[in-house]
Structure 1
Amino acid sequence: MTESETIAYDVVVLGAGPVGENVADRTRAAGLSTALVESERVGGECSYWACMPSKALLRPVVARAEARRVPGLGQAVRGPLDAAAVLARRDEYASHWHDDGQVAWVESIGADLYRGHGRLAGERSVTVTAADGTVTTLTARHAVAVCTGTRARLPELPGLDDVGPWTSREATSAQEVPGRLLVVGGGVVAAEMATVFQALGSRVTVLVRGTGLLPRMEPFAGELVAEALTEAGADIRTGTSVTSVGRENGTVVAVTDAGDRLEADEILFATGRAPRTDDIGLETVGLEPGSWLTVDDTLRVDGTDWLYACGDVNHRALLTHQGKYQARIAGDVIGARAAGRALPPSDPWGPHTATADHHAVPQVVFTDPEAASVGLSLAEAERAGHRVRAVDVDLTSVAGAQLYGDGYRGRARMVVDLDEGILRGVTFVGPGVGELLHSATVAVAGRVPVDRLWHAVPSFPTISEVWLRLLEAYRG
């Protein structure tokens, strides 16, 4: 191990994924010298093993499904997908797992990149161990931001170490389509990857411990997605847990709590995420290694005046866009505090507080049908003590949805706060609904009165006319 000099910066950012990049962008815009530390690829999980490759895999699946519903077009797209072409296009979207372009972007904003394993080494200090063993110490005059994200969490199961299980990384970067795929889990990764591989030719079995898919959304979202997957040929088993796994002559064998013995070529565990904080030196600043980092609404870690945590590591909302939102706020906060500017106390609309994390988090699941939601579900709103009413509309009542072709199925719900006259949450399920979500996000985040939404006239004939149908149903 070779020790090099100590280098001082205003800000040091651990993790150069999209969240860390956005912190660096904002602190550089504030005129602060900034170092970015990355142990893998600049661009992080989203660019190479999550958002970008998964959506590249899903797009041809969804496009074919939509085309098949249109009279006059359906017969032209009855054949199978070209799996090799789909995987090749995915490779392009993942930049063939090279980060040159993102490195060039870091250089363009004037931040310095350090490749290697970064660890806190006491207050305002980070050591970076490069691949050749060289250790560089970076000190921060104002702030260190932890943006190291999460990794897939695998269950403790007998035989798991011998199986070579897939996680989201192996699924999104797979170079071949397995003939049989077991998917364990019922969340977003499970639903999206089941959709991909069933369409590419795998025989997919999904094992869900709970009662259905997408448990964090309205129940009808998971029901409609499960219905479509079943019709496509997938076998979805709810209330089912895996008790052991193994490989026999190359074949994965999973045993369930019901005693069923299931065989597959690969098994994907989509059973949650764990913070990448186990080996970043948290113990040197009095924090628990491997823990989620609790922050205030300026993204500063509780009990410190210099340490920030943005994105997945603070466990507020494990979504790239939400992490980038936090990063923009944290970067501006760091810049303001470094300049000695006092921040206004708890300003919900100001640029220095991450209030959307609490009540207006949007998410799209890119299955067929798509599922999109923002804010609270009906059950969440009721648990929070709000007096609410759910208003539901069948999307087939909307002319714009009917234009998508025969067999369109979808549903929309808005959760209305009856005391405040605003929306607490909105959910859409159906082909093409992902692009509706930002209008709902603006309504929820902006606490737009429901009566005022009556004057936001949707264009005819678009799917956005569902807003009119929802308001009509609410008024009765």
Structure 2
Amino acid sequence: MNRSTTNKDRRLYDVIVLGAGPTGENVAERTRAAGLSTVIVENELLGGECSYWACEPSKALLRPVLARADARRVPGLRRAVAGPLDVAAVLDHRDEIVFHWQDDNQVGWLDSVSVDLIRGHGRLDGPRQVAVRTPDGDTVLLTARHVVALCTGTGAAVPDIPGLDAVRPWTSREATSADRVPGRLAVVGGGVVAVEMATAWQALGSQVTMLVRGDAGLLPRMEPFAGRLVADALREAGVDIRFGASVASVAREDGDVRATLADGGELAVDEVLFATGRAPRTADLGLETIGLTPGTWLAVDDTCRVTAVADGWLYAVGDVNHRALLTHQGKYQARMAGDAIGARAKGEQADETTWGAHVATADVAAVPQVVFTDPEVAAVGLTTREAERAGRRVEVVDYDLAHVAGAHQYADGYRGQARMLVDTDRGTVVGVTFVGPGVGELLYSATVAVVSEAPLQRLWHAVPAFPTISEVWLRLLETYRDRHPPGRS
């Protein structure tokens, strides 16, 4: 494959993909499988944020933490895992998971699926036009016969706080790629990145303080009991959680980061991590050349076409469209969008029916997510609050996971909770949340229940194995049945 570039190099493709993270790679693979010539443009490492600075390295840091926590709850293993974690081994394994921040294997995969690669920064230069500035200073001008797909993802959103630039704060990238354990770490935020990184670095030896603005608790977008159980466990592990704490300014003095809080208090730490949300990477994509506003999220239809652009040639897939900021959802969107692009390029009608072959219905109805803390949190579909806001009539069914026989086998003193939301008009499950050790492996079954819209009467026939934690499904269904015994009007 010819990857050379020259000044005034012009190339024509059916599909141009900007961004080679998991989303962009999946779009490119699907359009190439449809017979469309495809090029992918990437300015950093192929594999994107997830592979090198998010999902993969964070879970490599968290896995030994959670495995040790599980083992300590099992009689007969406590003494065997009583000591501290081998920090060097954990960090070495993390480095291996991210291939030491080298992307040779990803390049080989692109070759195997016959997708061209141009390294450099790509910007729109008018309809169906992309200009790529390469590392050697040349420019490659690309034209798309059919589609340009923006798959550039998001970056950390850091608040505008006095002194922040001089402090050089951690974001999720630094938190997942650090080569040493800070003695004292402040984590600003209370969402998924904040709780996962607090879990990891506390277990690796940091004295962690969480500064959470407001009093909504941790994991505010999930069921409230999830945040409470995670907060309880973090405090028991030694994390100092301060709610209603806002950072007013920061400064670095004699090696310390000194954070001044809005209430006048101060905190001195070695590093400060801002886990305060994500922003779309659209500021330097040339959106202004097609009449769009740089730096904004890109609104799309259910096949990921940008709704503000005529003729349907521009797609925005993955985090950049703000539908569901999760790697697996971006890959899901990519499969739908890639197949839709292939169909439309052949002059076929895209299948835009609900749960159709080309629409990302699950972005609305059934987004699954696991938070890899101790305890784990796994959720899919609606929360109680979301159902209420949407005007859905739901019945909340709760069950204490500690009463499931499988939980007794899993751990001594198991603590957890399960919640199922039943659509009372249709008799189907529309949301599930599990909190407890090992519940991440329950999530796919919950996702299938929500996506399939299986009636509760049918779910009775899905028999869980004994003794496993999945028996909680039976207990949830029994709890609902006991409230609505047969024959009661």
Counterpart in 2 of 1:459?
465
Distance of 2:185 and 2:89 partners within structure 1: 20
- Aligned AA (1:22): N
Q: TM-score, length-normalised on structure 1?
A: 0.99
More off after superposition, 256-265 vs 392-401: 256-265
- Aligned AA (2:118): Y
Counterpart in 1 of 2:339?
332
User: What RMSD over aligned residues (CA atoms) do the two structures have, in Å?
Assistant: 1.0
- Aligned AA (2:361): T
Distance of 1:204 and 1:170 partners within structure 2: 16
Asked if 1:233 is matched to 2:241, the reply is: no
Counterpart in 2 of 1:162?
166
Match of 1:312 among 319, 344, 352: 319
Whether the 8 Å contact between 1:212 and 1:238 is mirrored in structure 2 is: yes
Q: Secondary structure at the match of 1:403?
A: helix
Distance of 1:39 and 1:453 partners within structure 2: 48
C-alpha deviation, 1:2, in angstroms? 6.6
Asked if 1:202 is matched to 2:206, the reply is: yes
C-alpha deviation, 1:29, in angstroms? 0.5
C-alpha deviation, 1:450, in angstroms? 1.6
Distance of 2:413 and 2:171 partners within structure 1: 33
The gaps in structure 1 that reach 5 residues or longer are none
C-alpha deviation, 1:49, in angstroms? 0.1
Counterpart in 2 of 1:60?
64
Counterpart in 2 of 1:272?
277
- Aligned AA (1:404): Y
Counterpart in 1 of 2:402?
396
Alignment of 1:182-201 (within 5 A): 182-201=186-205
Counterpart in 2 of 1:342?
349
- Aligned AA (2:168): G
Q: Secondary structure at the match of 1:55?
A: helix
- Aligned AA (1:317): A
Q: Secondary structure at the match of 2:273?
A: strand
Q: Secondary structure at the match of 1:178?
A: coil
C-alpha deviation, 1:141, in angstroms? 0.3
| Change over 3 Å in CA distance of 1:362–1:403 after alignment to 2 | same
Distance of 1:250 and 1:102 partners within structure 2: 38
The gaps in structure 2 that reach 5 residues or longer are 483-489
1:400-449 CA deviation, whole Å, 9 max, x = no partner? 11111212110000111111111111000000000100000011111111
- Aligned AA (1:8): L
Match of 2:379 among 359, 373, 378: 373
Q: TM-score, length-normalised on structure 2?
A: 0.96
Distance of 2:190 and 2:322 partners within structure 1: 19
Distance of 1:204 and 1:225 partners within structure 2: 15
Match of 1:217 among 196, 214, 222: 222
Asked if 1:474 is matched to 2:485, the reply is: no
C-alpha deviation, 1:75, in angstroms? 1.0
Q: Secondary structure at the match of 1:3?
A: coil
C-alpha deviation, 1:9, in angstroms? 0.4
Whether the 8 Å contact between 1:395 and 1:401 is mirrored in structure 2 is: yes
Counterpart in 1 of 2:445?
439
Distance of 2:405 and 2:187 partners within structure 1: 36
Distance of 1:246 and 1:380 partners within structure 2: 40
1:134-169 CA deviation, whole Å, 9 max, x = no partner? 000111001000000000010011111111100000
Match of 1:140 among 144, 147, 163: 144
1:292-324 CA deviation, whole Å, 9 max, x = no partner? 000000110003310000000000000000000
Q: Secondary structure at the match of 2:181?
A: coil
Distance of 1:309 and 1:133 partners within structure 2: 27
Asked if 1:351 is matched to 2:349, the reply is: no
C-alpha deviation, 1:15, in angstroms? 0.2
Whether the 8 Å contact between 1:153 and 1:273 is mirrored in structure 2 is: yes
1:300-354 CA deviation, whole Å, 9 max, x = no partner? 000331000000000000000000000001100000000011124x311221111
Q: How many positions carry a matched residue from both structures?
A: 475
- Aligned AA (1:271): T
Distance of 1:423 and 1:258 partners within structure 2: 44
Q: Secondary structure at the match of 1:206?
A: strand
Match of 1:322 among 310, 318, 329: 329
- Aligned AA (2:249): S
Whether the 8 Å contact between 2:167 and 2:257 is mirrored in structure 1 is: yes
Distance of 1:230 and 1:300 partners within structure 2: 45
Match of 1:360 among 354, 366, 369: 366
Counterpart in 1 of 2:486?
none
- Aligned AA (1:451): Q
Whether the 8 Å contact between 1:2 and 1:133 is mirrored in structure 2 is: no
C-alpha deviation, 1:3, in angstroms? 2.6
Whether the 8 Å contact between 1:317 and 1:357 is mirrored in structure 2 is: yes
- Aligned AA (1:260): G
Return structure 1 stretches of 4+ with deviation > 4 angstroms. none
